[in-house]
Amino acid sequence: MKRYSWLIAFLTLVCFVLIFFESVPYLKFIVTSLHVNTITFQWLLLIAWIPPLVTRGFFHLKLLIITLLLCIVGESSAKTSLSIYRELRNITSNPFLTYDQKMSLTYPGFYPAMKEVVRLTPKDSTIIIPPQRNPWETEGHTGMVEYFIYPRQAINMGVDTKQLPQVEGKLYALIAKGSWERIGPVDYGWPKIPIQADHLWHIDTDHNVVTKIEQNYDPQINQWNWGLIEVKK
């Protein structure tokens, strides 16, 4: 049984290594390259640990705990090292970039869009942003959005919300397709409701072009990657 436990411990370590490499080049790297489903692998290992633990041997429990600690510490250390390496690589390869260039490199799409929001809106305005859920983890993050648009205020609005909030001063709504990979049931594109507008701005962050459009917002035709709505009051 000890040999069996050592084998399962080794495979558990291998599984965590695969999980780490799953996200290094790109998501689903292991599945597409080696055709190994890491989620299924984890469930099989969980089942495989049951026989040695049922024997109630202290050795098996201790081995499981040590293996899991090694996995957790190893994965955290590897991810931290990878993050530091990527940041240092950006710094050393681009030592003379301006702040705007660095932010655009770190937050492509999002940062240029926030710059345009600042340019197009008064300082005392309120910006409606998507809920902080997939696929709007970044553009729906109130703290991050407000960091870049300060002193303007950002407030979240739910996917199914039908009524806009009542606020003092100018009210705007961010148009955001969703910059994260969609893994949930909610589809790309926000807002999902028609909005009466004074005008819209289509923000093309790829070509640094902003187009002003005099019409109401229609979710069927105006769900761009980035844009802004000046809400009619």
Q: Using one digit for the tens of pLDDT, what is the confidence trace for 82-141? A: 666 666 666 676 777 888 888 888 888 999 999 999 999 999 999 999 998 889 988 999
> Is 59 a residue whose pLDDT tops 60?
no
At residue 33, the pLDDT reads 61
Would the pLDDT of 219 be above 60?
yes
- Percent of the chain at pLDDT exceeding 70: 61
The pLDDT confidence band at residue 170, using thresholds 50, 70 and 90, is very high
Closest CA to 82 of 74, 92, 70: 74
What is the span of the domain harbouring residue 14?
2-93
Q: What percent of the chain has pLDDT over 90?
A: 38
Residues 133, 66 share a domain: no
Query: What six digits make up the tokens of 93?
Result: 């390869």
Q: Indicate if the pLDDT at residue 30 is higher than 70.
A: no
Strands laid side by side in the 126-129 sheet: 153-156, 126-129, 171-176, 226-231, 197-204, 209-213
The domain tally of the chain equals: 2
Q: Are residues 62 and 44 in the same domain?
A: yes
Q: 173 φ, ψ to 5°?
A: -130, 130
From 42, 62, 40, 39, select the one nearest 52 (Cα to Cα): 62
- If asked whether residues 126 and 86 sit together in one domain, one would say no
Average pLDDT over all residues of the chain: 80
Asked whether the beta carbons of 127 and 117 are under 8 A apart, the reply is: yes
150 compared with 184, residue with greater pLDDT? 150
The distance between the two most distant Cα atoms of the chain, rounded to a whole number of Å, is 74
227 and 119 in a common domain: yes
Across 152-175, average pLDDT: 90
Write out the H or E segment, with its range, that includes residue 24: none
pLDDT at residue 233 in the model? 81
Same domain, 216 and 130: yes
Higher pLDDT pick, 92 / 228: 228
pTM of the complete model = 0.62
Please check whether residue 98 lies inside any domain of the structure.
Answer: no
- What average pLDDT does the segment 165-169 reach? 87
The model's confidence at residue 21, banded by pLDDT at 50, 70 and 90, is low
Are residues 69 and 117 part of one domain?
no
Phi-psi region for residue 148, left (φ > 0), alpha (ψ -120 to 50) or beta?
alpha
pLDDT value of position 23? 57
The verdict on residue 34 lying in a domain is yes
Which of the listed residues 62, 93, 124 is the one where a domain comes to its end? 93
pLDDT of residue 61: 64
